[in-house]
Structure 1
Amino acid sequence: MRVIAGSARGTRLAAPRGMRTRPTADRVREALFSIIQSRYELDGARVLDMCAGTGGLGIEALSRGASTCCFVEKDREALKCLRQNLLATRCAERATLLEMDLLRALPLLAGRGSRFSIIFFDPPYASELYTPVMRSLSSLELLEPEGLFIAESAARAILPEREGCLVRSDRRVYGDTALALYVLGEE
């Protein structure tokens, strides 16, 4: 796994051993960022990387010009690799780490008045987090009005077309990985 483009291009990213953390494949990240950059401006974007794992998505965004990224992760081994990756890519000064459960982190971020241009969500595929997280994002207003929420899942899993004010605008499948892109609509 490596950073594909931007200031940290080519930097290899550390990942924990075993299958507990499943980093987004380079080809999927490359396709995702091609989609993002064809529709949105990454320069100056505020990014939230939920279930961040090694931080590959958030670090890629920082490398391509995002101003800040908040990473939410609770696994100790993944956090160790995430810190190492932030240092290796020289992105640590623009990063915030929340070492906690995601469903506790979201109200905390909302309470701080945080709003994000782009939100990445890449939980373990078998997790039951998709619906509760989407409901929380919708009710807590963490996504900016012109923002983008991207949920990664197994290709066989079909995420809802709408959850609260989040409306699916696109879905792409790459092998066994699916990316669902959401924008804000009216409830």
Structure 2
Amino acid sequence: MRVIAGEARGRRLEALPGTDITRPTLDQVKEAMFSIVQFDLPGARVLDLFAGSGQLGIEALSRGAARCVFLDQNREAAAVVMRNCKACGLFDRSRVSVGEAARWLSACREQFDLVLLDPPFHQGMLEEILPAVEKVVAPGGIVLCESEAKLILPAEVGSLVLRKQYRYGRVLLWRYTKPRPGEAEGGDSV
């Protein structure tokens, strides 16, 4: 597992052993995710929810995001995120928190321009957490979700509108946006 592009390009990232704790995003899928948001990254405030090793948030920081909050409920995973951020020279733009996602989101008072969601597959977490994510997305913000290919998510979740769905083998990427005030809410074809 490595950083693909930007200031930390080529850096190897530590991962927690065992796929029962984390499931790293494949490089092909990660490259696709960041191609989708490449013009939205510079200066962005990013939330990496279900951070695991932190590879998605670190990739965002490496490509120009202003800062990233990493959240994982596993203390060992959070420690790995901290080590990875330090090793990549990105720790000063990072904040690592340990906690359960829904509880953390309900207490959060920050707004984010990009939210990266990569929860464990086949556990129903994405469907449960999307409504709570909506309130922390800034107007004009983007939510990128990674899921198993069989999952079906709604076209709208509160003010979040599904703009596009991308398939990469057994993985789906979902791109939701939160319209700015006065912006049309219709999504692209899916």
Aligned residue number for residue 32 of structure 1: 33
Please give the secondary structure, in 2, of the residue aligned with 1:172.
strand
Superposition map of 1:114-153 within 5 A: 114-138=110-134, 141-153=135-147
Aligned-residue identity in percent:
42
- Matches of 2:69 and 2:53 in 1, distance apart? 13
Aligned length: 180
Listed one character per residue, the Cα deviations across residues 65-105 of structure 1 (whole Å, up to 9, x for unaligned) are 10100001011232222111111111111111110100111
Task: In structure 2, give the amino acid aligned to 1:11.
Answer: R
Indicate yes or no: 2:173 matched with 1:179: yes
- Matches of 1:41 and 1:34 in 2, distance apart? 10
Aligned residue number for residue 72 of structure 1: 71
8 Å Cα contact 1:98/1:105 also seen in 2: no
Task: In structure 2, give the amino acid aligned to 1:115.
Answer: Q
8 Å Cα contact 2:81/2:96 also seen in 1: no
Query: Which of the pair is proportionally richer in helix?
Result: 1
- Matches of 1:127 and 1:102 in 2, distance apart? 14
Aligned residue number for residue 47 of structure 1: 46
- Matches of 1:77 and 1:174 in 2, distance apart? 29
Aligned residue number for residue 158 of structure 2: 164
Aligned residue number for residue 5 of structure 1: 5
Indicate yes or no: 2:89 matched with 1:100: no
Aligned residue number for residue 55 of structure 2: 56
- Matches of 1:35 and 1:137 in 2, distance apart? 19
TM-score by length of 2: 0.90
Please give the secondary structure, in 2, of the residue aligned with 1:173.
strand
Unaligned runs of 5+ in 1: none
Give the RMSD, CA atoms, in angstroms: 1.4
* Displacement of 1:106: 0.4
Unaligned runs of 5+ in 2: 180-184, 186-190
